[in-house]
Structure 1
Amino acid sequence: MQNERPVEDLTKAEAGEELARLAEVLSQADAAYHQADAPILSDAEYDALKRRNRALEDRFPDLKRVDSPSDRVGAAPAEGFGKIRHEKRMLSLGNAFADEDVQEFDLRIRRYLNLSADAPLAYTAEPKIDGLSLSLRYEQGKLVYAATRGDGETGEDVTANARTIAQIPHNLTGAPEVLEVRGEVYMTKADFEALNAQGSRVFANPRNAAAGSLRQIDPEVTRARPLSFFAYAWGVLSEPLAETQFDSIKRLETLGFTINPLTRLCSGPADMLEHYRQIESQRPDLGYDIDGVVYKVNDLALQERLGFRATTPRWAIAHKFPAETAWTRLEAIDIQVGRTGALSPVARLAPINVGGVLVSNATLHNEDYIAGRDSKGEPIREGRDIRIGDWVQVYRAGDVIPKVADVDLSRRPEDAEPYHFPQTCPECGSAAVREPGDSTHRCTGGLICPAQAVEKLKHFVSRDALDIDGLGAKQIEMFFTDDQLPIREPADIFTLKARDAGNLTKLKNRDGFGERSAAKLFDAIDERRRIPLARLLFGLGIRHLGEVAAADLARHFGSWEALIGAVDQAAPAAARQLAADEAEHEERARAADAGRRAEVKKARDAIWEAPGLPEGAKAAWDDLVGIEGVGAVLAVSLVTTLTQERERASINRLIAQLTDILPPEARATESPVAGKTLVFTGTLTRMTRAEAKARAEALGAKVAGSVSAKTDLLIAGEAAGSKAEKAAALGVEVIDEDAWIALIGG
């Protein structure tokens, strides 16, 4: 897309600003898509945004946010349905948007498996149906339940509704004793048009119609709706269906399920791309909506080795179709304040249909983007700025959220004036500061800023944090402004019951509550007085601290006391890191040529080598940044937040209300590396570093990125280098790859 800059060209500040924007838009899209069946983004665009987010996090892992979309699948199940917990998670897919992405997917698989470029590697390719994901569980051949994907871990119980779909068998012959069949519920275009012609309700598209029809409280309504089902995967199995993806899908067909007839076995990227273009050419005539093609490694044993990331399998990817653009009028520019204080400009547009979805809002990124320049001052859009009243081009898909791409100067109103970015927070009036090297203005109000406080509380009770049943975003907004029973910080949640007991205006007598619902809320809050350390850390809303990094910190330290002690000890070193970053930024601004780059290193070294650093501070800092997945930016954010006087006092009040902060669950305690801290270095030949790390963590080990006195074992491949030298100096045991393979049992 025009004006869209590759991830590789973004500065760290620009990447952080874009990650904040993506998190907000994707969160809104999750709720609209999975709970209201009224998406504000198409499936292709939604998945594309997650890909952009993942690419940014891969390049800048220390910028990963607490509310990272990479750690989310779907949205919490809607009220009104029973809940079913998936025994095996239902995950989303990574995305490809260009031929090069598909080729890189193949190369990535080969690197992980240590396969040569000419080694045979087969894939399946199938259309990606634009519908609603469904999991069907059969036991001894009988349909036991049907569940939507929900948030990937827990879905809605739609068993009665699923039984009304003709393509879902109630009984199977010759199936494994336990079989979970997964696929997509969809509505054909002809059935969609016929349904809308009835006039009882007009749906926007077949996907909405299918989702709304399946998620009816009355199964008879679903029965009257023409739904179809394609099977394409499986969950829990008591025995394998086959040895390959393709043969397993064919086995599902013999059991009575409908599989997509365009599913094909491919020999490599060229074959995959050829099939993609064939499907794309047939797309208008298929009779049902698709938004891309899904590729999967065919060999199931290789799928097992490749495993999963946080929310996506490594062995599959969705190759998406391109989207559209449209022109409309920019009516206003609003400023939204996020949980971290970031001021994000949002374009309010005259509603326009773009790719089948009505768009009325789009991101404007930051002050520079509106002014027609990038973070380095170079022109974008040939220097054309964006003004209220302009006719602007909007696009949705590829790597971006709905965005204003260009301006038609020939249609600019004569009275249109350049936009001046606010220097104060629109929510609290505090100064909005743009720090050197950062493209984002941030409110300095902190806890006094209601926008930040409310968003932090919403995050604290969110699904991946404390997940308090009955206390969601809507309730947080209500309690925040309540004079009788206010919730202004996390600790207030846990004193709500006691304060209600002494309050004349009882919660049970208020709108939206009764005696039963109030009691249920108090019980749900009490249940969260015992909380896993990782959830607590994630819930605190510390900038750059995502769910995965929170789990890494929890595994490394094991307890709140150990973590907070390490943070306090590392605080002076974190201050040095901040000073070193500032010195580097200033020196880089002066260092225009390679000859002066040495000055940058000198500036940093001078900060670290200055006297006065307390004993143990540097070691504590090195231990913190040495945790796999924790970099200097995240470590500084963690230490800064937990050592600020007001933040620490608020957190201490919260900790006092908790009865138990649970350590991470024990993993593979009988393995020879369980509980040990390992470091891999050099080139491994029998498995890749990524696979070695995954194996080690599965066996209960901690994997660090650098050697320290806490390292138990260094696994050194070829050309091990400085890490091996440091391990020898510290007396850390060093073994080679063969010894590592033998240690873990092959």
Structure 2
Amino acid sequence: MAKLVNQAASCKPDRSDGRMPGEASKDSTAQPAGHMTSTAAVPPAERAEELRRLLDYHAYRYYALDAPEISDAQFDRLLRELQQIEVEHPDLITPDSYTQRVGGFVSGQFAPITHMARMYSIDDAMDLDELDAWLDRVESALGAGSAVYTCELKIDGLGVALTYRSGKFVRAATRGDGYVGEDVSRNIRTIADVPMRLSTEAVERMGDDASEAIEVRGEVYMPKGSFARLNATADAEGRPPFANPRNAAAGSLRQKDPAVTARRDLSTFMYALADTAPVHVTSQLEFLDWLREAGFHVNPNVARCASPAQVHDFCADALAHRGGLDYDIDGVVVKVDSFELQERLGFTARAPRWAIAFKFPPEERRTVLREIRIQVGRTGVLTPVAQFDPVSVAGSTIARATLHNIDEIERKDVRVGDTIIVHKAGDVIPEVVGPVLDLRADGARPYQMPDRCPACGNPVVREPGQVAIRCVSLDCPAQLHERLLHWVSRGCMDVDGVGAELVDKLVDAGLVRDVADFYTLTSEQIAALDTGRVYQKTVAKKGVRAGDPILVGKTVADKIADELDRSKSRPLGRVLFALGIRHVGKSVGELLARHFGSIEALIEANEEEIAGIDGIGPKIASSTKMFFSVPENLQVLSRLREAGVGTQEGSGEVEAREAEESGVSVELARQRPLEGLTFVLTGSLEHRTRDQAAAALVALGARVAGSVSKRTSFVIAGPGAGSKLTKAASLGIAVLDERELERILATGRVSA
């Protein structure tokens, strides 16, 4: 391979794949993560806010969790759309926008370390046209032919910064958010190619600055051979494998036990310095020579390119030879070589103008599509998954990839038996590119999604305007675990003592097949459940021996039975929320309960009547009618009614209990003084959680919404309030603090 150059502060995410809890992730089975619906009618301010939320979410998945959900290309499309909006509407730029900062997160697992200087991102060029556009800008700014470039392989690893003082290693930090990283000093010491002391020659070249602290930057990576051995060991021990070498390197460096890191066979390539002045060099190539002399591991594939044409040649050569390297790369970093010219070009808010990362297209392979299987997710979404002959792509073997939904299958025209092209989006996520039509067999038929759920056999539905096809049956086994946990959760039926472990035991024992089965359980059945643990020693007084199974027991079982019995009197709004009807949350459930008074009346209502309720709308009306159109759901409701679960709006006793649980006056709650008002809570509260505050407001008749709109009456804001506060200001909505909230809950009156 021709000699190339190296990379200054690793480009944006070395992304692998992600989920910070939030609405953006809940339906990722229904469509590709990061997918956006049509934005033609969305106001720029709303779209910009949504894009910032998506970018923050996916950056968190990538940097903090090492578990990305979307590819680099999808992330870049979102970022570029936000950049375009901010160019056209500069007034929409916010200080926390992803366009104004370096991506990344700092976890709380390690002590924080502040970098000596900011570690910038590098902008991406996704194709040769974008690379040429950057080269043209540089040539225009500096004068045609005046710039010499260094080209370096873009290593797919984890960015780190190593600090040395008087030539001795002091500490090491991850890249973090560009300003602050995580202290991984103990783990870095275990990496063999990291020098603990710089060479005498390199230190002497620093002259009078030899005692100054310097921060050397580069990439920690895992060689492909080491990655293969690590996954082979994991497979032999029954542990899940790492998705790719980048994930393996990140996970290995973030180990609490340095001995684990030492066994992972990590390596480094160093390529940058926070401040090059102490080493007395004037260009990137000269600095790389100093790094080698100092004892650092520097990538040998570096080239000095005197023209844009030579830059093209280097990129083409690197792409052609990427498969022969013992480490993963996903592009080439091109820099203006002269530090003086770099200084003249300067920086944008998040990246240097003197560098660009040319991203490689994903590595592609051909294989044969053998089957399209349907997976039923926990929310009932039917997701088609391609099963194909195993093929090695970007360092690992893949044999399946999600096809997302029927629209995606039809768009790509993928059929069973096709020879297909597959790649890893962002070198991470397996993806079917499309079929090789010239090799399609005669008679290959377009794929049809099933009209019944493969898990339970019930009919499936597709909401108007939605790509997702769903099973909405309450007795679907694929959704059973999540539906049962949702039913007993605190915001729903609030059954204390019933968690994920007990639900698993009840399902495995065949005692619970839907939510109505909770109310057929006896204390004896619960007490006899095996917890999966055993006694460690013999206790004669209790009549147990070492190795005997530990059962749930009578004391715990009686408590759970009492809790289940108590849950029967929960108000109707909670019951509707607990049923798991799509789009029906706690506040919507309360609106429906208040309007119709009973489940029976709600079942009889038509979509227009439901949609006409203030705060409901056609989407909720459609999903509600769809839920009650499933015969199996009506059967479960009938059994709930027979068991004594309330299906009518509560009596004064229920309202009184709800008020007491919310910490507000029962007498005040009966007056419903806040009826007709809509509140939005944002930020943190000192005296109660946001859920508790919301419950108290609802008990007084208010509606609590999750987002700010023109219908919002007041926003309650505590420390850490973010975009909701900004939107409230833009709409002129009154913002109240926690002190005012407590006064409202005590008096039922709003003074603002």
TM-score relative to the length of structure 1: 0.50
Larger radius of gyration: 2
TM-score relative to the length of structure 2: 0.50
> With CA pairs under 8 Å and 6+ residues apart, which has the higher RCO, 1 or 2?
1
